Each structure stands twice: as C-alpha cells, then as structure tokens.
Amino acid sequence: MSELLINAQQTAWSDDDFVVLAPPVPLRSAHPGVRVVTLLRVPHDARITVVDEGGSPRLVPPAGTRAERIAYEAGDIAGTWTVSGVRGAEIAEGDQQQMRALQPLYATAFSPLVGYSWRRGDAPARDEARRLLDLALRTALPAMRARPHSDTAASALVTLNDCTRCHEGNAVGAQGRRTDTAGWFSTLATLESTFPLELVQRASDFPACRATSTRQSPCVDRSASVLRVDMRRALARRDPRAVRTCQARRYLHDRMDAAARAAFADSFAECNISPAAAPVQVAPDPPSTEPPPPSTPPRSRRRPSR
C-alpha cells in the first residue's frame, strides 16, 4: 500500500492523454450539489481488446490504463468547484489492478488531497486504507475538517471502488447501469445507448412502466423498463452531450483492436466513426454551471507505507 498526496488539486489535471468519459445519459450523483467527472487514459502504444462474458463483450484494457472518478462540490468562493473525493484504478502488468482513493485534508477550497493506493483483492490493505482515511477525518481539527465527521464517509470512499457490487447485469428488481466483472463501468456506459431506468430516473414519466415500489420499476410485461438514446438524431442537432459522447467513443475506437471495434460497431456507427472518419468537432456549448471537466487525473506523490 502507498500513501498519495496531491498538494495543488487545481493544477493536477493537465495531461491531454486523458479523455472525459461521457455516457449518453449523464451519470447521477446521490448527493445534491455534487458534480462527477470520470477520466480515462489508455497508452498510445497499447490496445483495448474484448472477451466474451456470458454473451456480452467484456472490455480488457491494457497495462497502463488508468481511470479516475472525481467528485466536485461548490467551493466557498462563488462560481468555484473543489474536489471532494477521488476514486480510481490503474491496470498493472499481469492484469492486476491498483485501486486508489483520495479526499480533501481541509475544509478550504482547493485543499490538498490525501489518500492511499492498494492492490485490488488485497483485503487487509483495503481495510487499512479505509482506517487511515477515517483517522484523517477524525483527527483533523473541527474547524479544518473537510466535512463533519461521519463513520461511513471514509468507508464509502474506499468501498465504492467496487463498482460491480451495485452495477450487476440482469439484476433482480430495479437495475443500475451494468458493468462487467472487471468493474469498468463508465467506459462501458459510454459505449452503450440503451439503459435501464434506474431509481434516480423518474419511471413515472413512462405510462407503461409505472414504479410499484422503491426497488422495482417493471413494465406491463414485467420486464425491466429501459431508455434508449437516439444518438444519430441528437448528433444531427449538435446536442452538446451527444458530441461529447462521440468524442469519447472516437478516443476509445482509436485505442481498440479489431475485435473490440467489431464488438461495439453499432456504437461507433451511431457517431459516424470509422478508421478514416474525421474527428467529431465540438459545437460551442451554452453557459453552464458544471465544473470545467479536467483532462487528467491527479499526478500524485507516492510515499511507501510504513
């Protein structure tokens, strides 16, 4: 396990090798006022491939691939956003994954971030990371705490790295958007245009798919209610979200082998992406209150754990 420290979060995202993953339907946060950005970097000289997983393609990122989920909250200065938590993973040699979690050290905007990295599957290291993050929250002076101490705050930051617990395919009852067994959730969501209506969506807006409880939203034929995004139509209207989705798909296409491109051929066709196609151009976006999407995950200084 290694300790991570980011002293200047506002300048930690500056590498053009990363892409902002943008599923056609925005990912929701369970907490009002929180904005989430997910970044991915795939080495230029490596390729994503796929394997069959129960009839569905499972993405196999190459060694060196890195993903970061960065949560922002409104800063104490109007119009500013500050990082409130980072969860991520990096593929190491031998298909190993190195997990990471960071949180603000102080309550001030743009506080340094402190966290830990551990090997996926190493339960003792994961639990130690959870303990140390919780200790940092408990021991900070109350006036300097990033937020009021919660017994679940640090635990959740670490535990939620395990995306597969909540995003199972073919789950019973209301479903979240699926992931594969490797947990590369946002990457897969960017490549798909059909999603189950999750609990965060308003199933009552669809007459044939009324919610019957907080855990189920069946259609009249008792199947899961789904939402399909018409990407071709949205792109023809230069919808900013569709443009960003296609930019992310272009990035993924250019870093896939032939088998992976074939597995997601329909997704690429929706964006008019082929090996010879020109990159998708961005139309000017209307003014937004969203935090500016960073282009890289934090460059962190590692300290070996004692």
Which pLDDT belongs to residue 301?
Answer: 45
What's the chain's average pLDDT? 74
Q: How confident is the model at residue 212 (pLDDT cuts 50, 70, 90)?
A: very low
Mean pLDDT, range 224-235, rounded to an integer: 84
pLDDT band at 271 (very low <50, low <70, confident <90, very high): very high
| pLDDT attached to residue 143 | 44
Q: How many other C-beta atoms can be found within 10 angstroms of the C-beta atom of residue 142?
A: 8
Phi, psi (degrees; rounded to nearest 5) at 215:
-115, 0
| The 3-state secondary structure of 55-123, one letter per residue | CEEEEECCCCCEEEEEEEEECCCCCCEEEEEEEEEEECHHHCEEEEEEEECCCCCCCCEEEEEEECCCH
Average pLDDT (170-196) is 68
- Burial degree of 306 (CB within 10 A; 0-12, 13-18, 19+): exposed
Q: Residue 204 and residue 6: Cα distance in Å, rounded? A: 44
Domain ranges of the chain: 2-193+229-290
Handedness of CA 303, 121, 17, 75 (dihedral sign): negative
Q: What confidence score (pLDDT) does residue 194 get? A: 82
Q: What is the pLDDT of residue 209?
A: 47
Greater pLDDT, 48 or 7: 48
Q: What span, in angstroms and rounded, lies between the C-alpha atoms of 148 and 188?
A: 35
Give the single-character DSSP code of 5.
E
Residue 163 confidence (pLDDT): 61
Q: Please give the pLDDT value at position 304.
A: 44
Phi, psi of 209 (to 5 degrees): -135, 60
Please write the tens of the pLDDT for every residue from 49-99: 999 888 888 889 999 999 988 888 876 666 778 888 888 889 988 778 899
Tell whether the model's pLDDT for residue 267 goes beyond 90: yes
Do the beta carbons of residue 67 and residue 273 sit within 8 Å? no
Most confident of 11-15, 184-188, 239-243: 239-243
Q: Is the pLDDT of residue 6 over 80?
A: yes
pLDDT average, residue stretch 279-286: 45
